[in-house]
Structure 1
């Protein structure tokens, strides 16, 4: 599942949208990895002078997805990541 969308708007502007509206775009490891990849890509693109970061749906970003975090808390890797 794609959690981040990106497209070049022109005039030096790159739009990056968080795409988890069903969870108010709350951050999970997959979304964070996707976001970092898109930001790195935009940073490497000489056309990009500005980034517009948005969230789909009714919220920009609710922060960390605690429901998913609590479901993974027993996983040592997830515990280390947070």
Structure 2
């Protein structure tokens, strides 16, 4: 589900949805940047997803965040489905 992050992406025009996965379901690819397709309420969007600690903003903790193209809805607390394409 989508949780609030530091909202740094909003300040540079690239908002991201920060993804939190409950531990019981946690199985994630290795750190990196991926091309993804996200589905939210039966609508699909393409985007770029990052898994890692965000060293450019002094990040220490591993995060999962996705920037969806042509998307500007408030989805905090919503579930989204992510498909890794590349």
Is the pair's TM-score, using the shorter chain for normalization, greater than 0.5? no
Structure ranking higher in helix proportion: 1
The structure that has the greater radius of gyration is: 1
TM-score (norm 2): 0.25
